[in-house]
Amino acid sequence: MDSIQSLAVGFQYLVENPQTILFLIIAVFAGMVFGAIPGLTAALGVTLMLPFTFAMPSQQGLAVLIGIYVGGISGGLISAMLLNIPGSPASIVTTFDGAPMARNGRPGDALALGVFGSLVGGLLSAVALIVISPQLAKVALAFGPWEYFAMGLMGLSVVISICSKDLTKGFMSAIIGLLLATVGIDPVSAAQRFTFGFWQLGAGMDILATLMGLFAITEILTQLRTIHLEYETTQVEKLRFFPRASLVKESKLKTYLIGSALGTFVGILPGVGQSTASLLSYNTARQVSQNPEKFGTGCPEGVVASESANNACCGGALIPMMTMGIPGDVVTAILLGGLIVHGLQPGPLLFANNQDIVGVIFIAYVLSNILMYVMLMSLMRVFIKLLAVPLNFLFPLLLLMCVIGTITVHNRLFDSWILLFVGVIGYILVNCGFSLPPIVLGFVLAPIIESNFRIALITNKGSVASVFDAKIAVGLLIFAVIMIIWPMLMKLIKRAIKKEVVAN
Amino acid sequence: MKVFTKGLVLILVLTMAMMSFAGCSGSEDQEGDEATYPERTIEFIVPYAAGGGTDVMARAVANKITELEGWTTVVTNIEGASASIGSMEAYNRDPDGYTVMVHAIEAMLAYYLGGVYELDLTEECEMLATVVYDPNVVSVGANSEFQSWEDVVEYSKANPSELAWASVGSKSSNEQGSAELWKVADIDVNYIPYDSASKSRTAVLGGHADVLYGQLSEVKALVDSGEMKILAVSAQERVLYDDVPTFAELGYDVVNGLHRGFFMPPETPAEIIEVLESSIFDVCQDASFIDNMENNLGYAVQFVGAEDLVTFTNERRPIQEELWNIIQE
C-alpha cells in the first residue's frame, strides 16, 4: 500500500508546514479568478505562477500549482453560466445547459449544482488517482490511434443532440469548425495549410483566441444592439451552502458517476483534455437520461454531466503524469516541468523515491477540490451580482481581459487579431441562424480526429479495414453511429406509428 | 453592488500586475554598450511550451547565469509550428544582445531543408553555445520481442516496411536521423510521425508501434524504472548508461542527436557574444547544474562554443542535405 504510506508522509509534511495550506488557499482563489475571467485560463495561471514557485520548497511549489489548476478548471463555470461565455475551454459544455438554466431564473441553482458536480467529480477522480492509478494508466495504454479517432467522432456526434432543431446548419457549423482547425502546419506531413503567407499562422489558430472570439466577442457584438434597452434583473432564489436535496435528485446520481468516470478516463489519455471529457460525458448522460429532449434547455443533468467531468479530468490527467511521466493535458505538462525544476525526476520512480512529493500532490489535489467548493459556494452571492452589473460596464472589461489573455498565451499581438476576426465571423454566422457550439466542437475535436486517423492509416499502410482489428474502436464507433441515427430513427418510427393510427 | 465593483477592480488590478510580470521584458534603451553589458534583463526565447525539456534546460541555464553573474534573466515561451513561431520572433528582434534564442542545430537544419522554415537559421543567426548533447536512441518497451538492435535489423530485412517505427514530426531531425540509420543498416521500415513525444512514447509502451526513435532524454525516466529498454545510442561513446552500446560499436557508424543550446539574432556584436559565451561556459562547469541536467532531464552536459559550432554546422549541413534527398525519394 504505497499510496497510503505516501498519504501519511504527505499529511505529516502539511502538519509540520501549515503555511503550505495558506498558500494553497491563495492558489485556489487565484486559479478561480483566472478560470472565471474569459480569456484567462488555468493553463495561463499555472504558466505565470511557475517561476514564482521556483523559490518555494518543492512540496509547496507543487501544491500551489495544483491549487491553481483545480481552481482554474472550476472557476470557468461562473461566466459560462451567468454570461454564456465559457471562462476557460474546459467549461464550453457548461454553457449548453448552465446558461439557459441561469436565464430561466435559476442562476443560484445552476451555480450550486455546477459547483457540487465539480466537487463530486474532483473527489471521485482523487479516489481513482490515489487507489488505482497504476492500473488505470495501463488501461489507457490500450488506446491506439483508431481508438482516439473513434473517441473524437463520438464527441462530434454531440452535434446531433445540440442542433436537433436545424441539423443541416448544425452540420455546416461543425464543418466550419473542422476547417478552422486545419489552418497551420499539418502535423503529419508538415505541409502549410491555409496560412495565406502569414508565418504567424503556422501554429494554427490559437484555441483560446478562437474560443474567446466565438463566444465573448460574438456575444458582446450581439448584446450591443440591445444595450440601450432597460432589462429586468432576475430574481435570485435562496442560496445555501449545499444544494437542495431535491435539486441533487433532479440531476440524477448516475449523471455524477458517468461524469466522474468518463472525466477521469479521458484525463488519462494524453492530448485529449477537459473539453472533450465534458462533451463525452454530456452526450452519454443524455443517452441514458429519461428525458433527453430537455438537454440544451437548461436541465440540471446537463450541468452536472459537464462540470463533474471537467474536474474529474484533472485527477485523471495527474495519473499518467505521476505513474509514467507522461502529461495528460497542457497543465500537467507544465507541472511536469515544475517537478524537474525542483530537482525531481518525473516518471514511474517518483512513487518509490519521493513519497513525500506524491503524498503532498495527493493531499493538495483533494484539498484544492474542497477549498474550491467552500470558496465558490460562499462567494456565490457575489458572483450572482454579476447579473446586475450594467453591460456597458461589464463589456469593456471583458473585452480588455480577452485581449490581454490571448496576447499572453504566446506573447504576441497577432493572436488578438485572430480574436477579432473570429468574433466578427461568429457574429455574422449567428445572424444567419448558425449556432456556435458545433463550430467549437469541430475546432476542438478536429486535431484528435485528423491526426489519429492519419497515424492509424500510416501504421496500417493505408488500410482503412484495419479499424476492425481495434475492438475498442469498433465499439466506440458503433456507439457513435447509434447516437447519430437515433433521433432520425425515432422520428421515422413515430411517423410510421402515426400513419398506422391514421390509416386505422 | 459597491462591494462587488470593488472586488472586480481588485481582481483586475491583480491580474494586470501578474500580466506585467509575464509581458515586460523592458525595451527602453537599445544601445548595448559592451563595457557595461548587460544593463538590463536578458530574454531567453524558448520556441517550445513551458515545462518541456528545452524549456527546463533554458530555465536552468538562465537561473544559473543569474546565480553566478548576478544578471537578470527572463524566459519567454513562444511555442508552436515546429518551433518556427518563436524562432522567427527571436530572429526578428534587435541584435542588441538582450535576446537569446534557444534551439538545436540539427532541428533548425532539418526544418529548413524540409521547407518548414523559410530561412536557414543556422546560417542567419549568430551561434552562441550549445550546452547539452542529447543523443538519439532506439528504444522499445521492456517486454518487446526486440531485445537488441540486431533483432530489429534482422526483422526489418525479413519483413520490409513492416516494422512500425514511431518518432516525432515529419521533415524533422528525427526523420532525417532515422533515414541515416536506415541507410547505413540497409533496412526498410514504416516511419510513423507522431505529433508529440508523449504520444509516441505512449504508442510504444502500449504496443501500437514497435520501436521508438527519439532523444535519450525523452525515455530516461521510463528506462530507469524498467518500463523501456534502449537498444543502442547514436553517439561517439556510451552516454549515461554503461550497458547500452553505441551504434558504431555494433558496426553502424551513425552519430546523431541534438546539440541543444543558444543562438542570437543576426548581427549581434561579437563582444557581447563573447561575454555570454564565457558565462555559459561557467554554467556548464557547475556541479549542481550538471547533476540536475543528467539525473532529472537525461541531458549529457557538453559545452560547444560559438566557433566550434560554426565548423560543426558546416560539416553537418551537407550530410543532412543528402539525407533529405533520401527521404524524398
pLDDT given for residue A205 in this prediction? 86
Indicate the angle between helix axes A58-82 and A94-103, nearest 10 degrees.
50
**Yes or no, beta carbons of A34 and B12 under 8 Å apart:** no
Exposure pattern of B75-94 as b/e (b: 16+ CB <10 Å)?
bbbbbbbbbbbbbbbbbebe
Question: Among positive and negative, which fits the CA dihedral A345, A347, A350, A352?
Answer: negative
Q: Could you count the other beta carbons within 10 Å of the beta carbon of residue A491?
A: 11
φ, ψ for residue A449, nearest 5 deg: -65, -50
Q: Which range, of A87-91, A252-256, B3-7, B75-79, averages the lowest pLDDT?
A: B3-7
Query: What is the Cβ-side half-sphere exposure of residue A293, based on CA atoms within 13 angstroms?
Result: 4
The three-state (H, E, C) secondary structure of chain B, written as one string: CHHHHHHHHHHHHHHHHHHHHHHCCCCCCCCCCHHHCCCCCEEEEECCCCCCHHHHHHHHHHHHHHHHHCCCEEEEECCCCCCHHHHHHHHHCCCCCCEEEEEEHHHHHHHHHCCCCCCCHHHHCEEEEEEEEEEEEEEEECCCCCCCHHHHHHHHHHCCCCCEEEEECCCCHHHHHHHHHHHHHCCCCEEEEECCHHHHHHHHHCCCCCEEEEEHHHHHHHHHCCCEEEEEEECCCCCCCCCCCECCCCCCCCCCEEEEEEEECCCCCHHHHHHHHHHHHHHHHCHHHHHHHHHHHCCEEEEEEHHHHHHHHHHHHHHHHHHHHHHHC
| Cα A203 to Cα A221: distance, rounded to the nearest angstrom | 27
| Proportion of chain B above pLDDT 70, given as a percent | 87
Quote the cell numbers at residue B64.
544559473
**Arithmetic mean of pLDDT, B224-250:** 87
Contact B221 A382 (CB under 8 A): no
Contact B203 A144 (CB under 8 A): yes
User: How many Å apart are CA B296 and CA A343, to the nearest integer?
Assistant: 6
Q: Is A141 on the interface with B (CB under 8 A)?
A: yes
Write out chain A residues lying below 8 Å of B101, CB-based: none
Partner residue opposite A190 with nearest CB, options B77, B80, B114: B114
| The three cell numbers locating residue A491 | 422520428
Kindly tell me if the per-residue pLDDT of B277 is higher than 90: no
Query: What is the rounded CA–CA span in Å between residue B92 and residue B217?
Result: 30
> CA-to-CA distance for B112 and B316, rounded, in angstroms?
13
Candidate from A204, A348, A458 with C-beta closest to B227: A348
Helices A330-341, A42-53: crossing angle, 10 deg rounding:
0
Angle CA(B279)–CA(B280)–CA(B284) in degrees, nearest 5? 120
Pairing, β B126-141 against β B99-104? unpaired
B129's grid cell: 553555445
In the three-class reduction of DSSP (H, G, I as helix; E, B as strand; rest coil), residue A193 is classed as strand
| Residue from A44, A53, A411 to probe the interface with B (highest B Cβ count within 10 Å) | A411
Residue A16: how many other CB atoms lie within 10 Å: 8
CA distance linking residue A353 with residue A271, whole number of Å: 27
What residue of B is the nearest CA neighbor of A335? B51
> Nearest residue on chain B to A448, judged by CA atoms?
B195
- Picking from B3, B21, B115, the nearest residue to A48 by CB comes out as B21
How many whole angstroms separate alpha carbon B37 and alpha carbon B299?
30
* B240-249 pLDDT tens trace: 888 989 988 8
Burial status of residue A352 (CB atoms within 10 A of its CB: 0-12, 13-18, 19 or more): exposed
> How big, in percent rounded to 5, are the helix, strand and coil portions of chain A?
75, 0, 20
Optimal mutation site among B194, B228, B286, B291, interface A, most CBs of chain A within 10 A: B194
Cα(A92)–Cα(A88) distance, integer angstroms = 7
Taken as a whole, chain A contains a residue count of 504
pLDDT surpasses 80 at B2? no
- A50 touching chain B per CB within 8 A: yes
Torsion sign across C-alpha atoms B222, B228, B229, B231: negative
- Count CB-CB contacts under 10 A for residue A336: 24
Is the CB of residue A388 less than 8 Å away from at least one CB of chain B?
yes
A399 to A34, A36, A37, A419: CA distances (angstroms): 15, 14, 10, 10
- Closest residue on chain A to B296 (Cα): A345
Residue A80 CA to residue A84 CA, distance in Å, equals 5
* Phi then psi dihedrals of residue B140, to 5 deg: -140, 165
Mean pLDDT of B175-186: 87
Q: What is the pLDDT of residue A68?
A: 92
Task: List CB contacts of A293: < 8 A, sequence separation 6 or more.
Answer: none
Pairwise CB contact (< 8 Å): A340 & B295: no
- Chain A hits for B50, CB-CB cut-off 8 Å, are 47, 50, 333-334, 337
Do A119 and A372 meet the contact criterion of CB atoms below 8 Å apart? yes
- Inter-chain CB pairs, A–B, below 8 Å: 185
For residue B73, the chain A residue with the least C-alpha distance is A51
Compute the distance between CA of residue B67 and CA of residue B60 in angstroms, rounded to an integer. Answer: 10
User: For residue A180, how far is the Cα from the chain centroid?
Assistant: 20
Q: d(Cα A258, Cα A261) in Å, to the nearest integer?
A: 5
Burial B22-46 (b: 16+ CB within 10 A, else e): beebeeeeeebeeeebbebebbbbb
Pick the CATH number of B135-257 from 3.40.50.300, 3.40.50.10190, 3.40.190.10, 3.40.50.450: 3.40.190.10
Q: Which of A383, A303, A309, A311 is nearest to A94 (CA)?
A: A303
> Could you tell me how many residues make up chain B?
329
Residues from chain B contacting residue A185 (CB–CB below 8 Å) = 81-82, 84, 116
Question: What's the grid cell of residue A9?
Answer: 508522509
Number of Cβ atoms within 10 Å of the Cβ of A96: 27
Q: Provide the pLDDT for residue A489.
A: 77
Residues of B in contact with A382 (CB under 8 A): 3-4, 7
> By C-alpha distance, which of A175, A172, A176, A194 is closest to A185?
A194
Residues in B closer than 8 angstroms to A144, CB to CB, are: 203, 206, 208
Interchain CB distance below 8 Å, B22 and A48 = yes
Restricting to A residues 232-291, those with a Cβ less than 8 Å away from any Cβ of B are 270-271
Q: From B166, B149, B144, B163, select the one nearest B247 (Cα to Cα).
A: B149
What are the residues whose beta carbons fall under 8 Å from the beta carbon of A211, sequence distance 6 or more? A86, A89, A92, A440, A443
Residue B165 dihedral angles phi and psi, to the nearest 5°: -105, 95
Which residues on A lie below 8 Å from B114 (Cβ)?
190
Show residues of chain A in contact with B8, CB under 8 Å. 389, 397
Distance from CA of A48 to the nearest CA of B (A): 7
User: What's the pLDDT at A312?
Assistant: 92
With beta carbons under 8 A apart, name residues in chain A contacting B198: 270-271, 326-327, 333
Residue B44 near residue B100 (C-beta atoms within 8 A): yes
> What does the angle CA B321 – CA B325 – CA B329 come to, to the nearest 5 degrees?
170
Answer yes or no: is pLDDT of B80 > 90: no
Chain B residues with beta carbon closer than 8 angstroms to that of A345: 220-221, 224, 295-296
ipTM: 0.75
Residues B131 and B284 sit within 8 Å (Cβ to Cβ): yes
Domain residue ranges of chain A, discontinuous segments joined by +: 2-503
Domain B39-133+258-318 in CATH 3.40.50.300? The answer is: no
- A32, closest residue in chain B (CA to CA): B11
- Judge: B198–A270 Cβ closer than 8 Å, yes or no: yes
Nearest CB to A143; choose among B50, B80, B206: B206
In chain A, which residue's Cα lies nearest the Cα of B210?
A459
B116: nearest CB among A185, A341, A349: A185
Residue the block writes with cell 534546460:
B57
Sign of CA dihedral A77, A41, A68, A272: positive
Closest CA to A136 of A5, A265, A326, A272: A265
- The rounded mean pLDDT for chain B is 81
A202, B114: Cβ pair inside 8 Å?
no
Q: What is the pLDDT along chain A (504 residues), one digit of tens a residue?
A: 577 888 888 888 888 888 889 999 999 999 998 888 887 888 888 877 877 787 788 888 889 999 999 998 888 888 888 888 888 888 888 988 888 888 888 888 888 889 999 999 999 999 988 888 777 777 778 888 898 888 888 888 777 766 767 778 888 888 999 999 899 878 777 778 888 878 778 778 888 888 888 888 888 888 888 777 666 555 566 666 777 777 777 778 888 999 999 999 888 887 777 888 888 898 888 878 888 778 888 888 889 999 999 999 999 888 888 887 777 777 887 787 777 777 777 777 777 778 888 888 899 999 999 999 999 888 888 877 777 777 778 888 888 888 888 887 777 788 899 999 999 999 999 898 888 888 888 888 888 888 889 989 988 888 888 888 888 888 888 888 887 777 677 778 878 887 777 776
**% of chain B surpassing 90 pLDDT:** 6
A227–chain B Cβ distance below 8 A for any pair: no
- Determine the pLDDT at residue B14: 59
CA distance B35 to chain A (A): 30
R_g (Cα) of chain B, nearest Å: 22
Cα distance from B321 to chain A (closest Cα, Å)? 17
Burial class of residue B217 (count of CB atoms within 10 Å of its CB; 0-12, 13-18, 19+)? buried
Q: What residues have CB less than 8 Å from B219, skipping those under 6 apart?
A: B137, B139, B201, B212, B228, B230, B298
**Strand-strand pairing, B42-46 and B73-77:** parallel
Query: What is the DSSP code string of A355-391?
Result: HHHHHHHHHHHHHHHHHHHHHHHHHHHHHHGGGGS-H
CB-based contact B198 A388, cutoff 8 Å: no
Rounded mean pLDDT, B177-198: 86
Contacts of A461 in chain B (CB under 8 A): 161, 190
Q: Burial-class residue A95 by CB neighbours within 10 Å (0-12, 13-18, 19+).
A: buried
Cell of A4: 497510503
The residue-averaged pLDDT of B161-177 equals 86
Nearest beta carbon to residue B222 from set A142, A190, A348? A348
Q: Please, which residues have CB within 8 angstroms of residue A424's CB and are 6 or more apart in sequence?
A: A217, A221
Judging contacts by C-beta atoms under 8 Å, the chain B residues touching residue A146 are none
Residue type present at position A198: F
Is pLDDT above 80 for B291? yes
Whether A375 has its CB under 8 Å from any CB of chain B: the answer is: no
Ranges of CATH 3.40.190.10 domains, chain B: 135-257
C-alpha cell of B302?
Answer: 557538453
**Cα A482 to Cα A492: distance, rounded to the nearest angstrom:** 14
- CA-nearest residue of chain A to B294? A345
Cβ–Cβ below 8 Å for A346 and B172: no
Choose among A203, A343, A401: nearest Cβ to B80. A203
- Residue A330 forms contact with B (CB below 8 Å): yes
> Given an 8 Å threshold on Cβ–Cβ distance, is B225 in contact with A348?
yes
Nearest CA in chain B to A329: B198
Cα-based angle A82, A87, A92 (whole degrees, multiple of 5)? 85
pLDDT at B8 over 60: no
Q: Residue B35 pLDDT more than 70?
A: no
CA distance B200 to B193: 8
* Cell numbers representing residue A93 in the block: 459544455
Q: Identify all chain B residues contacting A268, using CB atoms and an 8 Å cutoff.
A: none
